[in-house]
């Protein structure tokens, strides 16, 4: 019998170092301002890791996982596996999941990383749900974590102001009976033709790290902002509609929408298309910016903390990222 996959706990970690918009002009000397950044992105502030203290993706992921497990009254020894979505791993190998497994003392757990940029968490959550439904796994930690401050160009004002660092975690468990937090459905898409519009050129096997690639600034995020914006608005809107239609639902049935936190104007466009007032959208881009794979789990964790959900409410997640990758998920809280 196919089991149900349910989210039984959540957790998040954001670094203590808070970086307001004014930092980019006051400290870096960029020709920008708080008003300019807010009007184009919706971001007011973000968090960056403390490198001197040794913070990075694995440490943030570990802390988010610890908080998630603590809320469930469990420890690392109680989980079967750890799946981490990230494009900023501490190392190419070993995986971030291996580092988290060791830090949690989860000796019996397997783990691996997935890479789908801003769509990474949703894609990995779908993977976890399928494993739990099939009986392959009983209890999984699904983590989205990124240290975007490690790969952004701080001389590119159009890009560097968008991102922040953070980590979020879901505990996904199997249930033989209907249960709160059930993951009901996923829709996912990829269009590799969009790869050139959002990428980091060097550091992989095609362009290994050399003095020349470093000098050419090829180890940072390169983005065609207009193209990404256009595709994000259209495809996130389309995939939400696709998800609702195939589940026989309308926009009115959704209590809370949690979109990827890339740009407030994108979020507003999706809300308008679905006929949602902004009070039905969870928005955290103002305080944490775009934390890539961490935006969905951190935002849900915050929404729960704020009392935005009641038992039985339908929640829709939507995302869009490099690849291009995009998708949506449906949950009953």
Query: The whole model's pTM is what?
Result: 0.98
3-state secondary structure of 84: strand
Catalytic residue among 21, 68, 160, 290: 290
Homologous superfamily of 182-332: Thiolase/Chalcone synthase (3.40.47.10)
Catalytic residue among 21, 98, 260, 263: 260
Number of other CB atoms surrounding residue 43 within 10 Å:
24
231 classed as catalytic: no
pLDDT in tens, 142-184: 999 999 999 999 999 999 999 999 999 999 999 999 999 999 9
Q: Which of 306, 238, 301, 298 lies closest to 274 in space, CA to CA?
A: 238
219 classed as catalytic: no
- Residue extents of the structural domains in the chain: 4-175, 182-332
Whether 2 has a pLDDT exceeding 80, the answer reads no
**Are 4-175 and 182-332 in the same CATH fold?**
yes
Q: What pLDDT score was predicted for residue 1?
A: 54
pLDDT in tens, 297-324: 999 999 999 999 999 999 999 999 999 9
pLDDT in tens, 252-296: 999 999 999 999 999 999 999 999 999 999 999 999 999 999 999
Q: Is 92 exposed, middle or buried (0-12, 13-18, 19+ CB in 10 A)?
A: exposed
Q: Is 242 exposed, middle or buried (0-12, 13-18, 19+ CB in 10 A)?
A: middle
Catalytic residue among 21, 68, 98, 118: 118
260 classed as catalytic: yes
- Return the CATH class of domain 4-175: alpha beta
Ramachandran angles phi, psi of 129, nearest 5°: -60, -45
Matching residue, tokens 């009901």: 184
């Amino acid at each position: 019998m196919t089991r149900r996959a349910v989210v039984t706990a959540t957790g998040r970690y954001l670094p203590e170092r808070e970086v307001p918009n004014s930092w980019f002009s006051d400290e870096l000397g960029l020709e920008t301002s708080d008003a300019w950044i807010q009007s184009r992105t919706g971001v007011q502030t973000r968090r960056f890791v403390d490198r001197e203290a040794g913070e990075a993706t694995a440490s943030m992921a570990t802390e988010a996982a610890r908080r998630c497990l603590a809320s469930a009254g469990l420890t690392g020894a109680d989980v079967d596996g750890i799946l981490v979505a990230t494009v900023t791993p501490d190392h190419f190998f070993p995986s971030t999941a291996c580092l988290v497994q060791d830090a949690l003392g989860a000796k019996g757990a397997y783990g691996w990383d997935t890479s789908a940029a801003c769509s990474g968490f949703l894609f990995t959550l779908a993977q976890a749900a399928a494993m739990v439904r099939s009986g392959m796994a009983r209890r999984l930690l699904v983590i989205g974590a990124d240290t975007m401050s490690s790969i952004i160009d701080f001389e590119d004002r159009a890009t560097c102001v968008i991102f922040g660092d953070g980590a979020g975690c879901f505990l996904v468990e199997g249930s033989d009976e209907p249960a709160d937090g059930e993951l009901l459905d996923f829709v996912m898409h990829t269009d590799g033709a969009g790869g050139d519009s959002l990428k980091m050129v060097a550091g992989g096997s095609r362009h290994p790290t050399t003095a020349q690639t470093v000098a050419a600034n090829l180890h940072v995020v390169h983005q065609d902002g207009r193209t990404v914006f256009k595709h994000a608005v259209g495809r996130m809107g389309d995939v939400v509609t696709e998800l609702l239609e195939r589940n026989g639902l309308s926009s009115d049935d959704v209590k809370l929408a949690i979109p990827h936190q890339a740009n407030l104007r994108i979020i507003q466009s999706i809300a308008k298309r679905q006929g949602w007032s902004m009070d039905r959208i969870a928005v955290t881009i103002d305080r944490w910016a775009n934390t890539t794979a961490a935006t969905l789990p951190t935002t849900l964790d915050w929404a729960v903390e704020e009392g935005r959900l009641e038992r039985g409410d339908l929640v829709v997640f939507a995302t869009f990222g490099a690849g291009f990758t995009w998708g949506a998920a449906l949950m009953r809280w």
